[in-house]
Amino acid sequence: MGFRYRKSIRLGGGFRINISGSGVGYSWGVPGYRITKTANGKIRQTASIPGTGISYVSEESIRSAETPRSSTQPPAFETEVIQSTDRSSYKDADFAALMTQIHLVHFLNKAFFIIGVIGLLAFIVLHTPQRLLLTILSFAAFLLVHYKAKVNLEYDFSDEQRAAYEDWYHAWRELFACDAAWYVTEIEKGHNTKTNAGASEATLPKKLLGMPKLPYYLSTNVPYFSAALSKKESFYILPDKIFYLHDGKLSAYDADEVNYRADIIHPIIDSTGMEIPADAKVVGKTWLKVNADGSRDKRYKNNHQCSICECGRLRISSPAGLNLCLMLSNSEHIDDFNSIIAK
């Protein structure tokens, strides 16, 4: 026969600590109801009618009440964030001098505009001729810098160089001569293929907003390709450099150090969430929710078909921090673009 040990400590307010050889438990209650957590990890609830001897006891294990973990965990995935970095330093002396000149023009433009606005407000409040003269001079300087004091990027080509650059420029124009072009900022790899239309990658593309002009402080004598990734983000392709504009800050990258990789991909497009462009080839069908063998998962009521399309993808990167990913609805010009890059 073994020894048993039990002690109860009352703390008031119906709360009591129970110490036994099994460990420490606690209980709380009022006349007619008590809840007890035993030392072995069980929860006991006792309800009774005082003076009658009638009571009801329920008991359950804390561990059994927990939600059991699924034996089949969804496959892990990793997210590739595609984002360029703004440059603040340049090793090449020519690039450094160019960016200093650009920053100076940009600074003067903003400074004269701010001075002009302050002078105008001062004139409205004080009505002094000096403030009016300051306002006129400031806005005149602003207009001069804005429209005349540009950084001119002038290129002098030989006939052979001009022909090569024209081929390069037209390759860009043909590549983006499609019904839709998207900017991709994230790629999630290793998705659960059963619930993502069978795709091993998932992207959230955003449509490009057009082909903007160079910033007001730049001008050039050659055609250039540009694309607006968002309202505050765009890039510009010139013969020897790429400009990247982000939140008003301009960065420059040496074209010789930039890597271009164009290929054909087969994204799955859900036509209920995004319209399929007319020039995108539909090469197959799948279901929004699929079984491991690719068949329709009948557990989902609104499980509709999705289209497997053929599209083009362009990755632009540089060791200096440029990192862009673009998706194109038409893949017909991918091979032509790659042949121009290889030259």
pLDDT in tens, 287-338: 878 887 778 888 888 888 888 889 999 999 999 999 999 999 998 899 889 9
Strand 218-220, strand 151-153: pairing: parallel
Answer left, alpha or beta for residue 107, where phi above 0 means left and psi between -120 and 50 means alpha: alpha
Q: For residue 110, what is the enclosing H or E element?
A: helix 93-126
- The better pLDDT of the pair 111, 10 is held by 111
pLDDT band at 71 (very low <50, low <70, confident <90, very high): very low
The overall average pLDDT reported for the chain is 78
Express as a percent the part of the chain with pLDDT over 90. 22
Choose among 99, 117, 106: nearest CA to 145: 106
Dihedral of CA 239/241/246/251: which sign? negative
Which letter, b or e, does each residue of 51-76 get, where b requires 16 or more Cβ atoms within 10 Å of its Cβ? Answer: eeeeeeeeeeeeeeeeeeeeeeeeee
pLDDT digits (tens, 9 = 90+) for 108-165: 878 777 777 777 777 777 777 777 777 777 777 777 767 777 888 999 989 998 999 9
